[in-house]
Amino acid sequence: MNIIIYTLVILTILYFLLKFITKISSKKISKGLRILLILGFIVLAILFAIGGRFLLTLPFTLASLALLKLKGLSIFQLISLYRLIQTLRRSGRFSFNQSNLNNSSSISVTEAYKILNLDVNKKITKEDVNKAYVKIQKKIHPDISPETARLSSIVNEAKDIVLNDIS
């Protein structure tokens, strides 16, 4: 019943809007659209100037993840995986281009905590480390996608480092 009422209200508003537009001259319409477009582009330019670095990295990384053929992941899992990849890319230990991989096995303790999404300042138990490890490995295990074998090995290394740190 509500859908019918909403539809009638929308159609009535649309009718009166179109009736109003037909009475306006085409010069006024084109001038109004021109001003609206200019204002829209100014707002878009300000938005990209302020937050462009953050707005553009997430979509491109998620598009790159699609190239890795990761199937069945929710948006929350993709964002978590995005954070993991960004941490590894900043440290130079992961690249989508296989020729540029830095195969050094020296992950710092703080990087290992970041990879597992654990807080360095909190008291962490082995169970916490194992939960975080399993949660990440469910997403990136090589059995799910063979392209993530390097990423999975980095997570394994991070788990060993954190377990040695808390022991």
What is the total count of domains within the chain?
2
Q: pLDDT tens digits, residue range 83-114?
A: 777 777 777 766 655 544 444 556 788 888 88
Q: Tell me, yes or no, whether 55 and 79 share the same domain.
A: no
Tokens of 4: 């019918």
What CATH code is carried by the domain that includes residue 150? Answer: 1.10.287
CA distance 19 to 26: 14
- Return the pLDDT at 60: 62
Q: Tell me, yes or no, whether 96 and 159 share the same domain.
A: yes
- Return the pLDDT at 99: 47
pLDDT lower than 50: segments of the chain? 99-103
Q: What is the pTM of this model?
A: 0.44
Domain that holds residue 94: 68-166
- Return the pLDDT at 69: 52
- Return the pLDDT at 138: 81
